[in-house]
Copies of this chain bind each other. A is one copy, B any other.
Amino acid sequence: MVNMKVIITYMPGLKANFLILLWSIFISGSQGGHYLSYGPDLKPAQGSVWPKPWWQDDTGRYFSVDPENFRLVAVNKNCPLLQDAMARYTKVIRQSAQGYVKAPQTAVIRKIQQLSVNLTQACETLPHLNMDETYYVWGDGRVIANSIWGIFRGLETLSQLLVPMPNGLLRIPETEIYDEPRFKYRGLMLDSARHFISKGKILQLLEGMAFNKLNVFHWHLSDDSAFTFNSTTYPELSLKGAYRREMTYSPAEVKEIVEFARKRGIRVIAEFDTPAHTASWGASHPEIMTKCAGKYAGQLGPFNPTKDSTFTFLNKFFSEIRNLFPDRYLHLGVDEVNPSCWEGNSEIQKYLTSKKLDNGVLPYLYLERFTADISTLGWKQMVWQEAMTEYPYMKWPTGTIGQVWFDFKNVSRDLTARKFDIIHSQDWYMYVLSTGGDWEKFYKVEPLDFEGSDVQKKHVLGGEACLWSEYINEYNVMPTTFPRVSAVAERLWSEREHGSTEEATPRIEEHNCRMIYRGIEARPANSFGLC
């Protein structure tokens, strides 16, 4: 219960706000026990930061900020990305005042009018794998970082500290935060091929990712089912390979999405999965596919790796993609390649005979040539784990990252022993649903929970939640993702010892409320209540 004396002393517009005050008390007053009190089930941890910072020290005292009368000021370096972020967080902080009233009226040290943003080094323009996301935040209104990316993360933290009080001011704790991520790769993958997801929802996904300090949007744009990118070079790919003409992304839309992400320090990594999972390419370009025979007669299998024209085609296509996706990495896919169709195709068999090769060489024919072309285009590469586990003789370009999605105790151990960098996705498949808040299972996943040396563990660059979209469409993508992905985000950002779901529960409750009043269509985190 709050101290009524403090409330009355520090409350200017008492009458007007008395009702709101009562609410805030009621809402704070929720308790367990057999006869339920009214109000929400849980008391959210007011103004707590999600994901949990590396180090935070509070004095227990507070400052205040008037949401209608404060300025974010760049006190050192400046650049368009920073100006954009300050405008954005000015809005976010104003929105905080509309948030669910939670803090009791609190005595404050003083009102802060200027929030200062101290960027110590020149802005970079593109987020990248090794970007510096370290920052300091002081509750008296200072954010300091060496890089623009650290400033982004610091502004997010600063905005989360602010909680509205009954008098309309925002409360901010006298606190000191030093923060940096545990892992540098913290991703969310969207499969927009099995179900199409509109640009509007993708932008909302990115906004929500920024609120969780996620920094990679991995975009799976094609699969057997559909080809969703409107290529200028080969418009027929989506004209024939998409479910419908309007279920595609134009180059302009891709640019908008990539730019929206960049402004939030989120990389966008495109994936056009090959050489399998490519039936939709075959709708317009059956000539790059393999005609199956025997049991699979009449069907089209993986890309034909024995024809020069296959690679000419791919090179031309990926040259276009190179210009739209500025990130250094491209995801090649290479998952679930079944060789039966290659092995039954008479032309391919003739080719092998003429070259004195056997079937075992076919994946290498494809991968060696294709990855060389992709390297020449200036990309580093990501692949699903099978690419590394099933083709042991493949010499992957330096820095190729494997994405682990099953049997990780063995696979992460083996791949890191082979000195591959990896990211973890096992048990972070978001379509896996259970009754309840259903975020705890994601929270408990630990990417380093395999046997291996410290050197091996350093090869784990991070992880990624995956929105495979068999059961996800336009209408459930947001509430399926939020707040469940927040659990993944904290696991990847915060220190390993932050593993208690009990400690995390009131913080994710608060964070979910925050996301909702900021416009994210999130489902409930825990139980009944406002959010």
Which single residue of chain B is at the shortest CB-CB distance from A472?
B524
How many copies altogether? 2
Q: Which of B23, B244, B299, B472 contacts A33 (CB 8 A)?
A: B299
Interface residues of A in 372-404 (CB under 8 A from B): none
What is the bound-complex CA distance between A279 and B478, given in angstroms?
A: 33
**Please, what's the 1-or-0 string for A262-294, where 1 marks a CB less than 8 Å from any CB in chain B?**
000000000000000001101100000000100
Given known A-B contacts A301-B35, A434-B434, A436-B471, A100 and B522 have beta carbons under 8 A apart: no
CB-CB < 8 A to A437: which residues of B? 471
What is the bound-complex CA distance between A101 and B22, given in angstroms?
A: 56
A154 in the interface, Cβ–Cβ < 8 Å? Answer: no
Q: Which of A245, A282, A431, A474: most chain B Cβ within 10 A?
A: A474
What is the bound-complex CA distance between A523 and B474, given in angstroms?
A: 8
CB-CB < 8 A to A516: which residues of B? 475
Q: Which of B39, B479, B524 contacts A243 (CB 8 A)?
A: B39
CB-CB < 8 A to A100: which residues of B? 244
Given known A-B contacts A473-B531, A475-B478, A299 and B19 have beta carbons under 8 A apart: no
How near does chain B come to A131, taking the closest CB pair, in angstroms? 32
Q: Which of B35, B239, B243, B434 contacts A27 (CB 8 A)?
A: B243
A324 in the interface, Cβ–Cβ < 8 Å? Answer: no
What is the bound-complex CA distance between A437 and B474, given in angstroms?
A: 15
On chain A, which size bracket covers the interface?
35 or more
How near does chain B come to A159, taking the closest CB pair, in angstroms? 21
Is the beta-carbon distance between B35 and A296 smaller than 8 angstroms? Answer: yes
CB-CB < 8 A to A79: which residues of B? none
Q: Which of B26, B225, B434, B529 contacts A40 (CB 8 A)?
A: B225
CB-CB < 8 A to A524: which residues of B? 195, 470-473, 476
Q: Which of B39, B225, B296, B529 contacts A38 (CB 8 A)?
A: B225
Q: Which of B101, B239, B283, B435 contacts A19 (CB 8 A)?
A: B239
Chain A contact surface mostly = loop
Is the beta-carbon distance between B243 and A40 smaller than 8 angstroms? Answer: yes
**Please, what's the 1-or-0 string for A223-251, where 1 marks a CB less than 8 Å from any CB in chain B?**
01111000000000001110111010000
Q: Which of B23, B244, B521, B528 contacts A195 (CB 8 A)?
A: B528
Given known A-B contacts A239-B19, A523-B475, A524-B195, A36 and B433 have beta carbons under 8 A apart: no
Is the beta-carbon distance between A476 and B523 smaller than 8 angstroms? Answer: yes
Is the beta-carbon distance between A23 and B244 smaller than 8 angstroms? Answer: yes
Q: Which of A247, A279, A295: most chain B Cβ within 10 A?
A: A279
Is the beta-carbon distance between A35 and B279 smaller than 8 angstroms? Answer: yes
CB-CB < 8 A to A243: which residues of B? 27, 39-40, 529-530
What is the bound-complex CA distance between A251 and B57, given in angstroms?
A: 49
Is the beta-carbon distance between B224 and A523 smaller than 8 angstroms? Answer: no
Interface residues of A in 392-440 (CB under 8 A from B): 431-438
Q: List 13 A-B contacts (CB under 8 A).
A: A33-B296, A34-B340, A35-B292, A36-B225, A38-B280, A39-B226, A194-B529, A195-B524, A434-B435, A437-B471, A475-B478, A475-B523, A479-B479
Q: Apart from A195-B524, A469-B528, A476-B523, what are 16 other A-B pairs with CB-CB below 8 Å?
A: A34-B296, A34-B340, A35-B292, A35-B300, A35-B338, A38-B224, A38-B225, A39-B226, A100-B244, A101-B244, A195-B529, A438-B471, A470-B528, A471-B524, A471-B527, A475-B522
